[in-house]
């Protein structure tokens, strides 16, 4: 049977459209609840909540994410990553509106719980679809999606702060933001890749292509051990990145102002430095991974965390601490997306399983790290508690061996690629035509078939 040739322009257009669609989903996810963050004090005052109650309501978000997280892979395989990402984004928008109009603590906690559950589903499904698009491109682009998420988070926070400053009614602000972001997510439907997840195609992949994988399966008797050993190492790396990000979000301002005596403006620069450097690192992260390999990038990132925050804690000062958080943000920027990508490529795991486990367990880092730092801070000092950050950097260096090294471009059988530009496809086609001359229809060959036969 003659295999039709795919034109150059069609895959390029489809890839670009899908990349834009995934970027929209990441931006929506980043901007959604960050709109509400600057208005937490207003929510607290309106409901008359204590610090304990507002903290408990906020804690419902990671709790919902942990409970729903393990179902994400099943839902992606059952309903497609595109549908799960869009559907969970729409439900998250509804949860945001519910939080904006909450008049009781239980309603606020329920809104946060639903939002966390949907965030976990969006996280896995959007990353899963992003990895499909990455295979389309044949090079790393996943970090650019996470850069868009960071930009969305910053944009949402700025809009929320501006609305609070202008005294825009909370319900009006949240409703407008949720509707706009929900419509943006819904509008990405026509941009995303069609069809189900490529699990069946992957199962039919040629053995030669699997052997070229960066995670080439070991001998059968050691496959199970190697598979889950790699997965646990990737979970540790993602959790290390989560610990560093959480420390910058929750403790940088408190440490700078309370322990180092920084002004209110300077105290906010620790978090700003971390987020800004993360955006920069994620914008250039794909090129770094393509050039040096994810393993080298992760080790360098872990070293930046270790040296940056280790120096800041060893020689405490406002300036050095801000620089330390900036270096830490740059260092961990590619860790979580890199771990998700690597877990999704482990042979022997069903599509989406490794990605789901890494995403789910990395949220444990977000959940427990504030508790550990807080407990150590109450017992000794916050400076001692923040030693968890350079320790996380050291762990990343140790476990980075789970990442593949630098690799050359190889055929990915699950990718959508240009048939005429694939040397392996051309060789197989030529061998097929030589062994099956009747398939070329010699009585009335087309121009393309004559050219192939003459070769």
> Locate tokens 């229809």: which residue?
441
pLDDT of res. 10: 45
Choose between 406 and 91: higher pLDDT.
Answer: 91
Distances (CA, A) of 141 to 133, 292, 345: 8, 15, 15
- pLDDT of 312 reads 96
**Spatial distance between the Cα atoms of 340 and 350, rounded to a whole number of angstroms:** 14
Mean of the pLDDT values across residues 364-379?
A: 79
Contacts of 102 (CB under 8 A, 6+ apart): 43, 47, 108, 111
Range in 216-225, 258-267, 279-288, 334-343 the model is least confident about: 216-225
User: Is 70 exceeded by the pLDDT of residue 257?
Assistant: yes
What's the Cα-to-Cα distance from 127 to each of 117, 147, 231, rounded to whole Å?
A: 16, 13, 17
pLDDT of residue 427: 56
pLDDT of amino acid 102? 93
Condensed to tens digits (0 to 9), the pLDDT of residues 416-429 reads: 444 444 555 555 55
pTM for the model: 0.67
H-type alpha helices, 101-198: 105-137, 142-165, 170-187
Phi, psi of 345 (to 5 degrees): -100, 0
**Packed helices 170-187 and 81-100: angle between N→C axes, nearest 10 degrees:** 170
Averaged pLDDT for residues 226-236: 89
The band of 374, judged by pLDDT with boundaries at 50, 70 and 90, is confident
Q: Give the pLDDT of residue 449.
A: 45
Confidence of residue 202 (pLDDT cuts 50, 70, 90): very low
What is the pLDDT at residue 184?
Answer: 96
Output the average pLDDT for the chain.
80
pLDDT at position 409 is 47
| Cα(71)–Cα(421) distance, integer angstroms | 39
Whether residue 234 is predicted with pLDDT greater than 90 in this model: the reply is: yes
The residue among 261 and 27 whose pLDDT is bigger is 27
State yes or no: pLDDT of 159 exceeds 50. yes
DSSP code, position 194: P
Span 56-82, mean pLDDT? 85
Average pLDDT over residues 277-281: 90
- For the chain, the straight-line distance linking the first and the last C-alpha, in angstroms and rounded, comes to 18
């Amino acid at each position: 049977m003659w295999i039709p040739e795919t034109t150059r322009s069609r895959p390029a257009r489809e890839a670009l459209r899908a990349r834009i669609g995934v970027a929209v989903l990441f931006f929506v996810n980043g901007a959604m609840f960050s709109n509400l963050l600057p208005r937490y004090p207003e929510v607290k005052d309106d409901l008359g909540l204590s610090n304990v109650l507002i903290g408990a309501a906020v804690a419902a978000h990671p709790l919902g994410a942990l409970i729903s997280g393990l179902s994400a892979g099943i839902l992606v395989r059952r309903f497609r990553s595109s549908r799960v990402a869009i559907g969970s984004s729409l439900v998250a928008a509804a949860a945001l509106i519910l939080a904006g109009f909450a008049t009781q603590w239980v309603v606020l906690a329920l809104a946060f719980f639903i939002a966390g559950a949907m965030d976990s589903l969006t996280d896995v499904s959007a990353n899963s679809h992003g990895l499909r698009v990455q295979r389309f491109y044949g090079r790393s682009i996943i970090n650019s999606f996470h850069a868009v998420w960071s930009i969305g988070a910053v944009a949402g926070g700025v809009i929320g702060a501006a609305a609070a400053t202008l005294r825009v009614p909370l319900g009006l602000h949240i409703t407008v933001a949720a509707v706009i972001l929900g419509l943006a997510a819904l509008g990405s439907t026509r941009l995303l890749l069609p069809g189900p997840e490529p699990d069946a195609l992957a199962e039919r992949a040629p053995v030669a292509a699997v052997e070229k994988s960066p995670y080439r399966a070991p001998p059968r008797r050691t496959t199970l051990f190697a598979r889950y050993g790699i997965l646990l190492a990737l979970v540790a790396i993602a959790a290390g990145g989560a610990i560093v990000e959480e420390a910058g979000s929750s403790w940088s301002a408190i440490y700078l102002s309370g322990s180092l005596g920084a002004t209110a403006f300077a105290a906010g620069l620790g978090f700003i430095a971390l987020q800004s450097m993360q955006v920069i690192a994620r914008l250039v992260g794909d090129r770094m991974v393509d050039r040096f390999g994810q393993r080298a990038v992760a080790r360098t990132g872990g070293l930046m965390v270790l040296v940056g925050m280790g120096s800041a804690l060893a020689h405490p000062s406002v300036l050095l601490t801000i620089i330390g958080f900036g270096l830490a943000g740059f260092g961990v920027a590619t860790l979580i997306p890199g771990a998700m990508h690597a877990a999704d490529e482990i042979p022997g795991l069903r599509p989406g399983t490794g990605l789901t486990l890494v995403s789910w367990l990395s949220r444990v880092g977000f959940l427990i790290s504030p508790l550990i730092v807080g407990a150590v801070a109450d017992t000794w000092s916050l400076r001692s508690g923040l030693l968890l950050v350079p320790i996380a950097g050291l762990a990343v260096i140790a476990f980075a061996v789970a990442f593949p090294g630098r690799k050359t471009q190889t055929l990915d059988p699950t990718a959508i690629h240009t048939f005429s530009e694939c040397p392996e496809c051309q060789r197989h086609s030529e061998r097929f035509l030589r062994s099956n001359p009747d398939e070329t229809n010699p009585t009335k060959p087309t121009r393309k078939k004559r050219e192939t036969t003459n070769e």
